[in-house]
A and B are shown apart, each in its own frame.
Chain A
Amino acid sequence: MSTAAPPQKAPPPRGRTGARLSDGAFALLLTAPGIALFAAIIFYPLLSALITGFFRQDLRLPGREFVGLDNFAYWLNGDLFTILEQTLLFTVGATLAPFAIGFALALALNTGIKGSGFLRGVFLFPWVIPGVVVSFLWMWIFNANYGVLNGVLVQAGIIEESVAWLGRPGTAMLAVIVTKTWASFPWMMVMLLAGLQTVPRELHEAASMDGAGAVRRFFAVTWPQVRGVASIVLLLEFIWNFQHFDTIYVLTGGGPAGTTETFATAVYQTAFSGFDIGRATALGGLWMVLLLLLVVVYLRITERKGDA
Chain B
Amino acid sequence: MTTSGISRRGALRMFGIGALGVASAGVLGACAPSGAGTDAGGGDPKSKNFDFTSWSLNEEAAKPSIEKIIKAWEKAEKSSIRAVSYPYNEYLSQLTLKLGGGETTGAVHLDIAWLAAIAQMGRLADVGPAAAGGGYTDVALKSGVYDGTQYGLPWNIGSIGVIANSKLLKKAGIEKHPATIEEFEDALRELKGLGEGVVPYAAATKVAQLKDIFPWMQTFGCTLYEGGKVTIGDDASVDAVAWYKKLHDAKLIAADVDRFDARALFGQGKAAFYDDAIIGKGVTSAQSKDKTLAAAMQPVERPVLKAGDTPQALLWGGVIAIVKGKGQDAATEFALHTTTDRATTSEYFAARALPPSTTAGLAAPEVAKDAFTTEWTEKITRTATGSPFWQFAQSTQIDEAVAKHVQAVLVGREKPKDAMKEAREEVTALIKR
A residues contacting B by CB (< 8 A) are: 12-22, 25-26, 28-29, 32, 35-36, 39-40, 43-44, 47-48, 51-52, 56-64, 143-146, 161-162, 164, 166-169, 253, 255-259, 272-275, 277
Give the residues in chain A near B433, CB-CB below 8 Å.
56, 58
Whether A57 touches B30, Cβ cut-off 8 Å, given contacts A26-B11, A36-B18, A145-B265, is no
Give the residues in chain A near B208, CB-CB below 8 Å.
253
Report the minimal beta-carbon distance from B410 to chain A, rounded to whole angstroms.
8
Give the residues in chain A near B26, CB-CB below 8 Å.
39-40, 43-44, 47-48
Determine if B257 and A44 form an interchain contact, defined as CB atoms under 8 angstroms apart.
no
Please measure, in the bound complex, the distance between the C-alpha atom of A291 and the C-alpha atom of B23, giving whole angstroms: 25
Q: Does B397 contact A (CB under 8 A)?
A: yes
Give the residues in chain B near A145, CB-CB below 8 Å.
197, 199, 254, 256-257, 261, 264-265, 270
Partner of A164, one of B33, B254, B404: B254
B residues contacting A by CB (< 8 A) are: 3-12, 14-15, 18-19, 22-23, 25-27, 29-31, 33-38, 93, 96-97, 100, 117-118, 120-122, 197, 199, 205-208, 251, 254-257, 261, 264-265, 268, 270, 393, 396-397, 400, 404, 407-408, 410-414, 433
Determine if A64 and B35 form an interchain contact, defined as CB atoms under 8 angstroms apart.
yes
Give the residues in chain A near B100, CB-CB below 8 Å.
59-60
Q: Closest chain B residue to A51 by CB distance?
A: B30
Give the residues in chain B near A272, CB-CB below 8 Å.
93, 96-97
Point out which of A14, A274, A277 has the most chain B C-beta atoms below 10 A from its C-beta: A274
Whether A62 touches B265, Cβ cut-off 8 Å, given contacts A47-B26, A144-B255, is no
Q: Closest chain A residue to B15 by CB distance?
A: A32
Determine if B404 and A39 form an interchain contact, defined as CB atoms under 8 angstroms apart.
no
Please measure, in the bound complex, the distance between the C-alpha atom of A257 and the C-alpha atom of B26, giving whole angstroms: 39
Whether A17 touches B7, Cβ cut-off 8 Å, given contacts A59-B96, A255-B407, A256-B411, is yes
Please measure, in the bound complex, the distance between the C-alpha atom of A12 and the C-alpha atom of B19, giving whole angstroms: 27
Point out which of A12, A61, A169 has the most chain B C-beta atoms below 10 A from its C-beta: A61
Please measure, in the bound complex, the distance between the C-alpha atom of A162 and the C-alpha atom of B254, giving whole angstroms: 10
Determine if A255 and B206 form an interchain contact, defined as CB atoms under 8 angstroms apart.
yes
Give the residues in chain A near B36, CB-CB below 8 Å.
59-62
Please measure, in the bound complex, the distance between the C-alpha atom of A259 and the C-alpha atom of B23, giving whole angstroms: 41
Give the residues in chain A near B397, CB-CB below 8 Å.
273-275
Report the minimal beta-carbon distance from B23 to chain A, rounded to whole angstroms.
7
Determine if A57 and B31 form an interchain contact, defined as CB atoms under 8 angstroms apart.
no
Determine if A164 and B15 form an interchain contact, defined as CB atoms under 8 angstroms apart.
no
**7 chain-A/chain-B pairs, Cβ below 8 angstroms:** A22-B8, A47-B27, A48-B26, A63-B33, A169-B411, A258-B408, A273-B400
Please measure, in the bound complex, the distance between the C-alpha atom of A32 and the C-alpha atom of B22, giving whole angstroms: 11
Determine if A61 and B255 form an interchain contact, defined as CB atoms under 8 angstroms apart.
no
Determine if B12 and A25 form an interchain contact, defined as CB atoms under 8 angstroms apart.
yes
Give the residues in chain A near B393, CB-CB below 8 Å.
58, 60-61
Determine if A16 and B7 form an interchain contact, defined as CB atoms under 8 angstroms apart.
yes
Report the minimal beta-carbon distance from A89 to chain B, rounded to whole angstroms.
16
Please measure, in the bound complex, the distance between the C-alpha atom of A274 and the C-alpha atom of B398, giving whole angstroms: 9
Partner of B4, one of A17, A21, A64, A162: A21
Determine if B404 and A258 form an interchain contact, defined as CB atoms under 8 angstroms apart.
yes
Determine if B8 and A20 form an interchain contact, defined as CB atoms under 8 angstroms apart.
yes
Interchain residue pairs A-B with the least CB separation, the first 10: A15-B7, A167-B256, A62-B37, A164-B255, A167-B255, A44-B26, A257-B408, A48-B30, A144-B256, A12-B5
Whether A36 touches B414, Cβ cut-off 8 Å, given contacts A16-B9, A61-B37, is no
Whether A47 touches B30, Cβ cut-off 8 Å, given contacts A35-B19, A145-B199, A255-B207, is yes
Report the minimal beta-carbon distance from A193 to chain B, rounded to whole angstroms.
38
Partner of A36, one of B19, B256, B261, B411: B19
Q: Closest chain A residue to B21 by CB distance?
A: A36
Give the residues in chain A near B121, CB-CB below 8 Å.
60-61
Determine if A15 and B256 form an interchain contact, defined as CB atoms under 8 angstroms apart.
no
Determine if B19 and A32 form an interchain contact, defined as CB atoms under 8 angstroms apart.
yes
Give the residues in chain B near A26, CB-CB below 8 Å.
4, 11
Report the minimal beta-carbon distance from B414 to chain A, rounded to whole angstroms.
7
